[in-house]
Amino acid sequence: MRRSRLPRLSSVAIAVVQKRITSESQKERKMQLEGKTALITGAGRGIGKGCAVELARAGAKVVINDRPGSADAVSTADEIRSLGGEVTVVEGDVFSRSGCEQLVRDALHAVERIDILVSNPALGVRCRFLDFDADDFERIIQATLTGGFHMSQLVARHMVEQGGEGKIVFISSVQAEMPMANSVAYGAAKAGLNHMARTISVELSQYKINVNVIEPGWIDTPGEHESFGEEVIRREAASLPWGRLGTPSDIGRAAAFLSSDAADYITGSVLCVDGGFRFKDCRADEIIPAKK
């Protein structure tokens, strides 16, 4: 019995099909956040930029914040516009209550409502505990933990006034759970941020406002290159379970998911996006030599 042979598609036909699949996939992805407005703090570069770009890719209108006079924010906005996204830049200091209040006022003046907040407060000083300056410790707690409180409270009040519903995503760190030398203040601030977010999620659940946390691992940002240098980054990246550092886009895609309707039943959760960084020393070949 002869088997019937399926017709072979030409390379042109295959290309057309692939293009159509890609187009539909991109359209579906864009629809995730279409009609939503997101405010992302610290969006000039690094993780904040990655979040802004990916939320814009997913269809959100984005308001990006960075420190006053930041050329990075302008660059991020230009990139988002080049992708066809709608973006507004609002400068402001998120390390103070007055700065956060002004930022939220300016953002609402520009876009009228905020459906999503990605709170990306970060200030770090690497120093040994015994030598750590007390003023630096307080500045880091103020910027990372207290700044996150100010932004989330102000935006949550707006969400409640609008009738409830919304998404708040905090950017934390694996250092919230992993004690790392020379990072006593940063780790403490991020651990506090995690607990604060869970508590906020309990209180805001009645308003159907989702509150979640992302814990990035070692992410390939300009700040990491400035701190460690190219040689260290290249060497250490190869030793990680995924064979590379994470990218700001890795974190941005996680933020887009937690900001979408697909995450409507997720709140009070901590999503670790680290490519196995936490467990890099737990692999069998790191503990017991493989048998030859």
Both tokens of residue 141? 């707690």
Both tokens of residue 41? 């703090």
Q: Kindly state the percentage of the chain with pLDDT values over 90.
A: 71
pLDDT of residue 6: 47
**39, 107 Cβ separation under 8 angstroms:** yes
Q: Which amino acid is located at 234 in the chain?
A: R
Question: In whole angstroms, what is the distance from residue 159 CA to residue 242 CA?
Answer: 38
Compute the residue count for the chain: 292
**66, 121 Cβ separation under 8 angstroms:** no
Looking up tokens 């207290």, which residue turns up?
146
C-alpha distance from residue 171 to each of 29, 190, 198, 203 (Å): 22, 9, 13, 19
229, pLDDT greater than 90: no
Residue scoring higher pLDDT (283 or 141): 141
First to last CA, the chain: 50
**114, 155 Cβ separation under 8 angstroms:** yes
| DSSP SS3 for 218 | coil
pLDDT in tens, 122-174: 788 899 999 999 999 999 999 999 999 999 999 999 999 999 999 999 999 99
Paired with 38 in beta bridges are: 62, 116
Domain 32-287 - what CATH class? alpha beta
pLDDT in tens, 85-103: 999 999 999 999 999 999 9
Element (H, E) at 167: strand 166-171
CA contacts within 13 A on the Cβ side of 244? 6
Among the ranges given (2-11, 199-208, 243-252, 269-278), the one the predictor scored with the smallest mean pLDDT: 2-11
246, pLDDT greater than 50: yes
Element (H, E) at 118: strand 116-119
Catalytic residue numbers, as ranges: 186
pLDDT in tens, 175-193: 999 999 999 999 999 999 9
